Structure 1
Amino acid sequence: MYIRGRTVALLIVFSVLCSSLLTAAAFGASDSIASILPVSIPASKQGDGLEDGLQKLQRAYRMIKQEYIRDVDDQKLIDGAISGMVEALDDPYSVYMDPETAKQFHSTLESSFEGIGAEVTMKNGRVTIVAPFKGSPAEKAGLRPEDQVIKVNGVSLEGMSLNEAVMKIRGPKGTKAKLEVVRPGHSEILHITVIRDEIPIETVDAQMLKDGIGKIEISQFAEDTAKDFAEALEELEGRGMKGLIIDLRGNPGGLLPAVLEIAEDLIPGEKPIMFTEDKRGHRVEYKSKRKEPKPYPIVVLIDKGSASASEILAAALKESGGYTLVGQTTFGKGTVQTAKDFNDGSNLKLTMAKWLTPKGNWIDQKGGTKGLKPDVTAKPPAYARATPPMPEKPLKRDMASAEVRNLQLILEGMGYPPGRTDGYFSEQTELAVKAFQKTNKLPVTGQLDQKTALKLQEEFLELLRDPESDIQLQVAIDVLKKQMK
């Protein structure tokens, strides 16, 4: 979540999520190593060693320029020095982008972008999926929150910065990103191929369910999200909505102004929405503008993919609004970043503050409570964590692999009992595949060939989107119905 300027989320899709609540001066770039550092910084009580550090940095710079056997570009040295300082922070949300990388980021400020459609972070030294975007190639291919991407098209991401890894994963529409993925709870490495595509930024989806229950899903907080949410809410209210479910599952966050605008109209009593707190302990409070509560109950759906701005909204609705959270403990991103542009087009995004819930809680993974906990726990079924297999060779009888296990989980969830879910392709699994093929008018071979795999993926996505099959949503509906009485 960001509180300054047109900055960039660490998204594989290179989606830009930005805001403008803090003012910060832009720095100018120079050919001198010394000039990349501030001219004057107040020393701490212990002394920050800036003068000695500058001399050391200048000496290293001169040694490289004068003694290093090969020619080296000045700008490359400067970029490397800044990158090194930022990487030394060991903060996955702080990053330096050289002019070329920053240009590519800024080129995605439109209403759509190309990529696989997922937000990532660096966790335990590995590129980790925070959440795939709804309807994105990443979601369709079966990427899930907490998946760790270790290779892209055969290239290892080990030792790369998050920024470097993202550059390997992104690519033009229609191209393939062949990912090797480590998934918690799975002993084998998953091989997932994602076809990159153009991703439109449509962040709000509303529908009226049975019994006067309205549901608004927010996939991320972008420039038009607050406006689209207000229009969707007005439309549902006009249809006589008796209760509202706000679905923040898989929402990786985004613009602070967007989430504040939404919260301002939902939280009653002009109560706190959130606080920001800088390293000096200075707090800024953000409060709601609404006086009276909405005339209907609200339930909020959250999961492990709910992060940053979505956690702000969920925490505000819970602690200041008194509304119920249903689902799983959230991701736990409790910091905010500021982006500053240099004159040469490069960009430094730096964690500048942490945000706190209305009750002053810090939910960050590092040092905080490690996520926002639901009032009512509801876990997704086992098949929701499965990845639709897309094998290069057909899966058939007596095979054993993680792909077979995923196949079995999906078949079971779709009502085709495979007999087992341990990854061994048994006779019963073969019968289940045949039943699926017969139902969908495919050649009945009992093998998962490419045509069957594509149809399985299509039907599986329909299952995941079916409200009747959504266990967490059904729990939220039950909770809401009790509150509507």
Structure 2
Amino acid sequence: MKKKFSWITLFCSLLGGILLGVIGTFVVLICTINRSTSSSNNFAQVQQVYNTISQSYYKKVSSKKLVNGAIKGMVDSLDDPYSEFMADQEQDSFNSNISGKISGIGATIEQGTQGIQIVAPTAKSPAAKAGLKPKDLIVKINQRSTKKMTVDQASSLTRGKAGTKVHLQIRRGNQTFNKVITRAPIKVATVMSNLDKNDKQIGEITITQFSEHTAKELKQQIQKLKRKGAKKLIIDVRNNPGGVMDQAIAASSMFMSNGRKIMTMDSRIDGKKSYYANKKYLNDYKFKLPTVVLVDKGTASAAEIFAAALKQSAGVKIIGEKTFGKGVVQTLSPLSSNSEMKITTAKWLTPNGSWINHKGLTPSIKVLYPDYLNIKNFTSQKIIKVNEKSSDVKVAQQILVALGQTVPVNGTLDEQTVQQLTTFQSQQQLPTTGQLDLATRQSLTKVLMDKAQKDDPMQRQALQSLKEQ
């Protein structure tokens, strides 16, 4: 995605002094976008609606709310899932994702059997300075119990404006204590790496998204792996939703000779513009050792630009599922200090000229996830007892079968299922009730995910492909 100040913003700034109030901003936006002779007539209707609501609606409505609603309505009329109007918290959240920076306590968390648990505090973060440790249980956040919270809900509560405070109740072993932590800006790494546990000459890199510094982070992680002895590389962009287009281009340039095509932008205003590997990217750093890339149906947008470029211009094997298929680019235009508009302004083409929108990128080697990863999520937190029937019991039975147990998949908590559930609870050091409660649901989900990570057919294929190179 390209981030820039468009001509709309410039035009608004030139005419802003002529018109008064928030309605003036709206006039400029309409007149700038619709420069036809009929635009003033069209706006007259909008202004009439604005005036009527402002003066006659049975209760007072703020001008900001009306103007934001009108802008949102125009953007929504495009019927484009990637175009949107963002204000206040939506704008802050989006920009934090793109920049790779958030404000919070700085700790990775997970949903444990007893609530939200700290995996690890980030180095030099407020959480680390406050003495929080791995496996600490966060009992409460701002007096709210975390027992039934999701990770997303807990993360939302710990994040906030830098300088504000968050109150945590922590349980460590048999000790419970309170911590008041001041939120601070946290840089979120988008690239992580390690050496394969069985073959130290193979480096493994995961790119979670393409934010403002991803290409630089990728270069640093590759150099780090090479210093440790890596001679081959697996790059994992599965479930990478994309992000900043320029970073995908810069990252791609590392893996191909200068002059090779990375992608082409095709817009109504500028026509076609192609981007090529170039020495200006990352000081002309090149990585020429054997590489494979892992993709799946969650690989989208900028991540698809990266994968397609490596496949078609660098001869790199792409392994996994067909990708998501987002072949369009959005431009971000600031409208005010607390609002901005993101609209689709172009489509992008792969190096060979293909448009993958709604089609996806076909991998060099197709490998599917195990069937058990298609098991649906639990939908309830209700305790289910023996002989009761529920869709959650069916989910639990499917997970138990995936873990190697023999149970009927009938949705009924029968004696055979109770027996296997009791065995599972004992293995996970849970109360052996044989009932399906929240803690058992969470443990079943976690153990299944652990199994998926250990038994990763795409990773196995990547290792095999590298051994053959």
1:226-254 CA distance string (max 9 Å, x none): 22211221122233334321111111111
TM-score by length of 1: 0.71
Could you say if the C-alpha distance between residues 412 and 340 of structure 1 is closer, same or farther in structure 2, counting changes exceeding 3 Å? same
Select which of 432, 437, 456 maps to 2:425. 437
Structure 1 position 84, deviation (Å): 1.2
- Write the letter of the residue equivalent to 1:35: V
Q: 1:310 to 1:103 in 2, by over 3 A?
A: closer
Which of the two has higher C-alpha Rg?
2
Cα distance in structure 2, aligned partners of 1:272 and 1:136? 41
Structure 1 residue aligned with 2:79: 90
The Cα offsets for residues 289-330 of structure 1, whole Å up to 9 and x where unpaired, read as: 379984432211111111111111011111111111111121
Pick the structure with more helix per residue: 2
RCO higher in structure (CA 8 A, sep ≥6) = 1
Q: TM-score, normalised by structure 2?
A: 0.73
The match for 2:323 among 321, 327, 330 is: 330
User: Residue 266 and residue 106 in structure 1: after superposition, are their counterparts in 2 closer, same or farther (change >3 A)?
Assistant: closer
Once the two structures are superposed, the pairs formed by residues 127-276 of structure 1 within 5 Å of their partners are 195-197=153-155, 198=158, 201-209=188-196, 210-211=198-199, 212-276=201-265
Change (3 A) 1:239 1:174: farther
CA deviation after TM superposition for structure 1 residue 420, in Å: 3.5
**C-alpha separation in 2, matches of 1:331 and 1:139:** 31
How many Å separate the matches in 2 of 1:81 and 1:462? 47
Matches within 5 A, 1:377-456: 377-386=366-375, 389=378, 391-415=380-404, 417-456=405-444
Are residue 342 (structure 1) and residue 335 (structure 2) matched?
yes
SS at match of 2:407: coil
69 and 48 in structure 1: CA distance in 2 versus 1, 3 angstrom threshold: same
Q: Is the 8 A contact 1:390 1:450 kept in 2?
A: no
Q: What letter matches 2:2 in structure 1?
A: I
Structure 2 unaligned segments of length 5 or more: list them: 114-140, 160-185
Contact 2:258 2:276 in 1 (8 A): no
Percent sequence identity over matched residues? 32
Shift of 1:281: 6.0
Give 1:455's aligned amino acid.
S
CA distance in 1, matches of 2:37, 2:463: 55
Query: Which amino acid in structure 2 is aligned with residue 480 of structure 1?
Result: L
Equivalent residue, structure 2, for 1:112: 102
- For the 8 Å contact 1:388–1:453, the answer to whether it is kept is no
SS at match of 2:332: strand
RMSD, aligned CA: 3.8
Q: Which moved more, 1:308-317 or 1:269-278?
A: 269-278
- Alignment map for 1:441-480 (pairs within 5 Å): 441-466=429-454, 469-480=455-466
Rounded Cα–Cα distance in structure 2 between residues aligned with 1:114 and 1:87: 32
Q: Shift in Å at residue 101 of structure 1?
A: 4.8
**Are the structure 2 counterparts of residues 387 and 347 from structure 1 closer, same or farther at C-alpha, using a change threshold of 3 Å?**
same
Given that 1:388 and 1:406 are in contact with CA atoms closer than 8 Å, whether structure 2 keeps it comes out as yes
What is the 5 A alignment of 1:32-51? 32=23, 35-37=27-29, 39=31, 49-51=38-40
Deviation at 1:288? Answer: 1.1
Distance in 2 of aligned mates of 1:465 and 1:87: 39
Provide the rounded CA distance (Å) in 1 between the counterparts of 2:343 and 2:111: 27
The 1:100–1:228 alpha-carbon spacing in structure 2 relative to 1, beyond 3 Å, is: closer
Instruction: Name 2:9's counterpart in structure 1.
Output: 25
**Whole-angstrom CA distance in 2 between matches of 1:479 and 1:429:** 41
Q: Does 1:354 align with 2:338?
A: no
CA distance in 1, matches of 2:208, 2:438: 31
Q: Answer yes or no: is the 8 Å Cα contact 1:114–1:196 preserved in 2.
A: no
Q: Which amino acid aligns with 2:216?
A: K
Q: Secondary structure at the match of 2:252?
A: helix
Match of 1:312 among 282, 305, 311: 305
Residues matched between the structures, number: 398
Stretches of structure 1 lacking an aligned partner (at least 5 in a row): 6-19, 116-134, 141-170, 180-191
Distance, in Å, in 2 between the alignment partners of 1:86 and 1:472 is 39
